[in-house]
Amino acid sequence: MALDVGGSSVLALQVGGSVGRLKLRSCHEWPLPEGLVVDGEIVDADLFTRELKAFVNRYGLRGRAVQVAVSNQKVIVRNIDMPEMTDAELRGAIEFQAQDYIPIPVDEAVLDFQVLGKRVRPDGASAQEVLLVAAQKAMIKTFLRALKQAGLKVVGIDVGSLALVRALIPTTSVMAGGGDAGVCRGIADVSSAGSTLVVAVDGVLKFTRFINFSSDRFARALGDDRSIPFDDAQALVQRVGLQGPAPADDEFYSEEVVAGTQQKLTQVASELSDEIRRSFDYYQGQERGTPITELLLSGKGALMRNLDAHLAETLGIPVVLGNPLAHFADNASKLSDAELAFMSPYLAVVVGLALPEDD
């Protein structure tokens, strides 16, 4: 089972079947109180544990083995070059040199790595491209303690950006008939906990950054501007949204409300597009940076009407909504196909966690 903790809810997903014929067995969502998880971090561990216990008991999940993801400012991901060596030698070298690459003191961090591939340097020497991951121990311990006290067994911890790549940019896709060699894609996962930006080339993670921009910022800005409750503002985000090809629900909302909503949301969306542009410009300015040809949009922010069109115009690249449910051939959950289709953009991380490794 896979578990994804967001800023506004917890998602649990179970997958069955075999590669090429995957079945979605269950999908459960549990709302979280506002302010409990902020910028991807648990603010109140005791309250979070109680909420998670209620969720686990409600759906009979006690004792389940779960894969979880972390994504916040205390998780550092770096692509580094290392000389060719054995795995044991590589681990020792990384532990020795890690402080050169991460801002967290090594004795306060959990380290892991993955060899992405090999290349030949300009001087003719062989090198390995290594993905280095470091996370603050205290943050990880708080998360794991809450999961254990809620009755869950954590069997794996992943980085949110890697789960996104697996869900949205598979190296081998039955649906697409194979990978697209040489294609550099970006991902903007605008979740209720914050936004994860990713660049992947041929399905291999090359760059990632977490920014403190949550999908709830749109509704909060509207709520403050119009002095309306958060839920009413959220409805405006989804039913009116930004100007673009999908028309606003002007049968329910007046012209004044539509115009005011779109003006305010455009201001907030511009903050997001500026952050994405700066991050991608930084990646593309690096020695082996590759031009990004397409952006995949996911997370609860993708539910805002015309955000994809706004980003396409401001960034100057095609933007499409990510569809992690394309991996599944059957829906055996208690949710209807229509309900899952609505949720699809913000299921990317939990689907990426749940997919078999050889998918």
Asked if 40 and 179 touch (Cβ cutoff 8 Å), the reply is no
> Strands (DSSP E) along 33-107, which ranges?
37-38, 41-42, 65-70, 75-83
- d(C-alpha 282, C-alpha 35), whole Å: 31
Give yes or no for a contact between 239 and 263, defined as CB atoms under 8 angstroms apart: no
Q: In Å, what is the CA distance from 181 to each residue of 47, 106, 131, 173, 204?
A: 47, 37, 20, 13, 11
Q: Are 292 and 280 in contact (CB under 8 A)?
A: yes
Considering the entire predicted model, what is its pTM? 0.93
- Angstrom distance (rounded) from CA 174 to CA 316: 29
Q: What is the dihedral of CA 64, 65, 67, 73, to 10 degrees?
A: 80
Find out whether 18 and 83 touch, Cβ atoms under 8 Å: no
Q: How many residues does the chain have?
A: 359
pLDDT at 358: 58
Q: Assess contact for 166 and 296: CB atoms under 8 A.
A: no
- The whole-angstrom separation of Cα 234 and Cα 288 is 41
CB 350 within 8 Å of CB 9: no
Helix axes 307-315, 255-284, angle to 10 degrees: 50
Residue linked to tokens 């597009």: 273
Backbone angles phi, psi at 328, to 5 degrees: -100, 135
Direct distance between the N- and C-terminal alpha carbons of the chain, in angstroms, rounded to an integer: 16
Q: What's the maximum distance between 2 C-alpha atoms anywhere in the chain? A: 66
Starting at the earlier edge strand, list the strands of the sheet with 109-120: 75-83, 126-136, 109-120
DSSP 111: E
Question: How far apart are the C-alpha atoms of 7 and 135, rounded to whole Å?
Answer: 19
- Ranges of residues in the chain with a pLDDT under 50 are 172-179, 359
pLDDT at 359: 47
On whether the CB atoms of residues 186 and 295 are closer than 8 A, the answer is yes
Q: Which residues contact 86 (CB under 8 A, 6 or more apart)?
A: none
CB-CB contact of 135 with 110 (8 Å): yes
DSSP 346: G
What structural domains and CATH numbers belong to the chain? 75-134 (3.30.1490.300), 182-321 (3.30.420.40)
Confidence (pLDDT) at 181: 54
The pLDDT of residue 120 = 76
pLDDT in tens, 274-312: 999 999 999 999 888 889 999 999 999 999 999 999 999
pLDDT of residue 119: 78
